[in-house]
Amino acid sequence: MESELEIPEDTLKCLRHLDKHYIPTRHPDVYDEGAPCDYYTREDADRCLECARKVMEWVMEIAERIRRSGGQIP
């Protein structure tokens, strides 16, 4: 029996926000000029860290539920 995980809306928003930063922050040639660090601010970094923490909290919560249920996705 398969089970679907429900992702809370705020966690989903964070996942979408982080996804936008995946390629541009890793590939220096993605911008016409300058390096990725020229396009990001402290506020961008803070928001990404906040989202990463939120996602990790959700993942850890799901992992704990799976552990307690004997390996079944709740």
Judge contact between 54 and 14, C-beta under 8 A: yes
Q: Is residue 50 part of a domain?
A: yes
Query: Mean pLDDT in the chain?
Result: 88
- In this predicted structure, the answer to whether residue 1 has a pLDDT above a threshold of 50 is no
For residues 16 and 29, which has the higher predicted lDDT (pLDDT)?
Answer: 16
pLDDT at 74: 65
> Nearest CA to 46 among 27, 24, 18, 26?
18
- In this predicted structure, the answer to whether residue 42 has a pLDDT above a threshold of 50 is yes
- In this predicted structure, the answer to whether residue 3 has a pLDDT above a threshold of 90 is no
Q: Describe the chain by its helix, strand, coil percentages, rounded to 5.
A: 55, 0, 45
pTM given for the model: 0.80
Q: Is residue 4 part of a domain?
A: no
Q: Give the chain's domain count.
A: 1
Mean pLDDT of 29-42: 84
Q: Is residue 1 part of a domain?
A: no
Instruction: Classify residue 23 by its DSSP letter.
Output: T
Q: Is residue 2 part of a domain?
A: no
Full domain range(s) for residue 52: 9-68
Burial class (CB in 10 A: 0-12, 13-18, 19+), 47: middle
